[in-house]
Amino acid sequence: MDGYERRKRKKMERIFGVSFELFFKHGFQKVSVNEIAHKANVSPATIYNYFGTKEQLYAETLTNWMDKQLERYESILDSGLSFPEKAKEIMLLEAKNLNLLADELQKVPSSEPGGWKRMMESYSERKVAPFFAKFVALGKREGSIRKDLSDEVAMRYFAMFNHELSRYWGSANEERTTRDLDQMMELFFYGLAGKGQSPDLPLAPYVT
């Protein structure tokens, strides 16, 4: 990367940081490109040259933020924690993030119905799904996830559990959610019967 590209990257990171702060604090409608440019110490023309429109700036700011969250998940997955501890840390972060995104995306108008939803679905397919495939594979290698469980079912179970956790996060205070998380993780890994008490039921054949 040459000097020009490094300077451009630094400017873009400043713009992303300011955009995220302002958009998530005040909402898409109430924030202007001029306001972002002033706080990021760049000209409005620079923002339009880099991103084209305010909507595209918002989309790329959101993508940049989600990329950073995935990097945090990756660092947890690569850490020396046990797999259940890794799962707990990742699920707590994911619950916070899902709750934040749900609130934020409700405020954003779109000239194309379903446009933001499609963007999120595309991001999930390209980046989130591969990460959680890695998550499931590690859980199977370490014996925390059943090896006879299909990856698709394991990932779907994780998604259902975590969406419910994010709803709980939004309806309760953070202290209570964090306090209850250990019991939730017990349910996530061992179900209602508890560790060592689950009946040995065979899996139904998996049909692709």
Residue 139, domain member (yes or no): yes
pLDDT along the chain (208 residues), means of 10: 82 95 89 95 95 92 94 96 91 83 69 69 88 92 90 86 73 64 80 59 40
43-88 confidence digits (pLDDT tens): 999 999 999 999 899 989 999 999 999 999 999 999 999 999 999 8
What local confidence, expressed as pLDDT, does residue 83 receive?
92
Residue 166 CB neighbours (<10 A): 21
Q: Does residue 94 share a domain with residue 39?
A: no
How far is the CA of 87 from the CAs of 96, 135, 139, 144, 181, in angstroms? 14, 8, 9, 10, 11
CB 16 within 8 Å of CB 61: yes
Is the same domain home to 81 and 145?
yes
Question: Are residues 180 and 104 part of one domain?
Answer: yes
Q: What pTM value is reported for the model?
A: 0.80
- Residue listed under structure tokens 């992303």: 16
Per DSSP, the residues of 56-82 read HHHHHHHHHHHHHHHHHHHHHHTSSS-
Say if residue 89 is in the same domain as residue 6.
no
The first and second tokens of residue 167, run together, are: 């709803």
Q: What share of the chain is helix, strand, coil (3-state, %, to 5)?
A: 75, 0, 25
**CB 93, CB 69: distance < 8 Å:** yes
Domain match, 85 and 62 both: yes
**40 shares its domain with 97:** no
User: Same domain, yes or no, for 70 and 41?
Assistant: no
Asked if residue 99 is part of any domain, the answer here is: yes
Instruction: Please state, in angstroms and rounded to a whole number, the distance separating the CA atoms of residues 174 and 117.
Output: 27
For residue 13, the enclosing domain spans 1-52
86 falls within a domain: yes
43 falls within a domain: yes
Which CATH number do you get for residue 157? 1.10.357.10
Q: How many domains does the chain have?
A: 2
pLDDT of residue 136: 92
Identify the pLDDT of residue 155: 85
